[in-house]
Chains A and B, each alone.
Chain A
Amino acid sequence: DAGVIQSPRHEVTEMGQEVTLRCKPISGHNSLFWYRQTMMRGLELLIYFNNNVPIDDSGMPEDRFSAKMPNASFSTLKIQPSEPRDSAVYFCASSLRGRQSYGYTFGSGTRLTVV
């Protein structure tokens, strides 16, 4: 398995533009998580899905952020319109949720810069 795949690796965009981040989780994993990492706030959980259904989006900072998971192999995180304070590294992670707890597998992240 190639692991969790995120694209793009880097994104530079102008304030006000729409940004879409993509994630392909590990095949067979039924939970998917979007995190944001900044120096000031560390790793923040934005939203997570279980069996493609959004379970908790309380970490999504504003209505400008939205996430979808149309099927088990694909998820997107969209920011519209983007602002400079959205600059961060965005990670997608997947896991197998069952009776036992398992660790997460993280993607390499998307470094977003909004100018």
Chain B
Amino acid sequence: SQQGEEDPQALSIQEGENATMNCSYKTSINNLQWYRQNSGRGLVHLILIRSNEREKHSGRLRVTLDTSKKSSSLLITASRAADTASYFCATPLSGGYNKLIFGAGTRLAVHP
């Protein structure tokens, strides 16, 4: 079973708008990661937030983590057509080996 589940499954917006994607997970974690995948390419690591952090920023990306609700959100501000991709959250399973389990992803389409 998947550890993380993204919501929505698909999101379509206009350039300049903000895009928010959510992720819920099931077990306790020490960090949560977000990745982007462009069509036909490998996944690219965007940002890692640790369990003792509530919010983290990287450029136009803002990630929040609520461990009490076992949820995270990824906000992309002032979206661009180049942000069109699938976005995945990933959480490590226990065991200390950084074994990441990925959700099903959110497909984001940004229209010019």
Residues in chain A within 8 A of chain B (CB atoms): 4, 31, 33, 35, 42-43, 45, 48, 50, 55-56, 91, 93, 95, 97, 101-109
The number of chain B residues touching the other chain, given as a range, is 20 to 34
Q: With A31-B97, A43-B88 given, is the CB distance from A103 to B102 under 8 Å? A: no
7 contacts between A and B (CB under 8 A): A33-B100, A42-B102, A101-B92, A101-B98, A102-B98, A103-B35, A108-B42
A45 touching B44 by the CB < 8 A rule?
A: no
B interface, over-half SS: strand
**Contact check: which of A31, A55, A102, A104 meets B43 at CB < 8 Å?**
A104
Q: Which residues from A are CB-within-8-Å of B98?
A: 31, 95, 97, 101-102
Q: Which residues from A are CB-within-8-Å of B48?
A: 101-103
Smallest Cβ-Cβ distance to B31: which chain A residue: A101
Q: Which residues from B are CB-within-8-Å of A93?
A: 42-43
Within the assembled complex, what's the spacing in Å between the Cα atoms of A48 and B101? 12
Question: What 6 pairs between A and B have smallest CB-CB spacing?
Answer: A103-B45, A106-B42, A43-B102, A106-B43, A101-B31, A108-B42
Q: Which residues from B are CB-within-8-Å of A109?
A: 41-42
Q: Which residues from A are CB-within-8-Å of B95?
A: 56
Smallest Cβ-Cβ distance to A48: which chain B residue: B99
Smallest Cβ-Cβ distance to A44: which chain B residue: B102
Q: With A42-B105, A101-B92, A103-B33 given, is the CB distance from A55 to B42 under 8 Å? A: no
Smallest Cβ-Cβ distance to A99: which chain B residue: B96
B11 at the interface (CB under 8 A from A): no
Residue among B30, B88, B92, B99 with most chain A CB within 10 A: B99
B100 touching A104 by the CB < 8 A rule?
A: yes
Q: With A42-B105, A109-B42 given, is the CB distance from A50 to B30 under 8 Å? A: no
B2 at the interface (CB under 8 A from A): yes
CB proximity to A under 8 Å, residues B86-110? 88, 92, 95, 97-105
Within the assembled complex, what's the spacing in Å between the Cα atoms of A104 and B45? 7
